[in-house]
Amino acid sequence: MIHYTCDRCQRKIETESLRYSVEMKMQAEFDQIDIESQDEDRQLEQMQEILAGLSDTDSEELVDAVFHRLQFDLCNICYHEFKSNPLGVPKVRFSQN
């Protein structure tokens, strides 16, 4: 039997309790490339310039720099906490209006 551990609090997730799977996809966006006004060669060139600007990384690191996918298993408690603050922003009291 497979036992899961919560990736956030490291508690063992009992097989009979709920387990939440969280998937994150992070992708670099190149908004400064004006797709409308440029031909594809120029776009590609510009993309390469941007990628080259990401310092001397090898291709694997380069892929990691522009695209990253993570998958977590969360227990019930952590899931709800994560859901309420996915970016881990320090809690600020918002005025309710």
Residue ranges that bind Zn ion, judged by CB under 5 A: 6, 8-9, 75, 78
The DSSP 8-state label assigned to residue 90 in this structure reads: P
Q: Which is nearer to Zn ion, 4 or 8 (CB)?
A: 8
Q: Are 28 and 64 in contact (CB under 8 A)?
A: no
Q: Residue 10 CB, nearest distance to Zn ion (Å)?
A: 7
Q: Residue 40 CB, nearest distance to Zn ion (Å)?
A: 46
How many CB atoms lie under 10 A from the CB of residue 78? 20
Q: Which is nearer to Zn ion, 2 or 35 (CB)?
A: 2
Specify burial of residue 74 (Cβ count, 10 A radius: 0-12, 13-18, 19+): buried
Q: Residue 36 CB, nearest distance to Zn ion (Å)?
A: 46
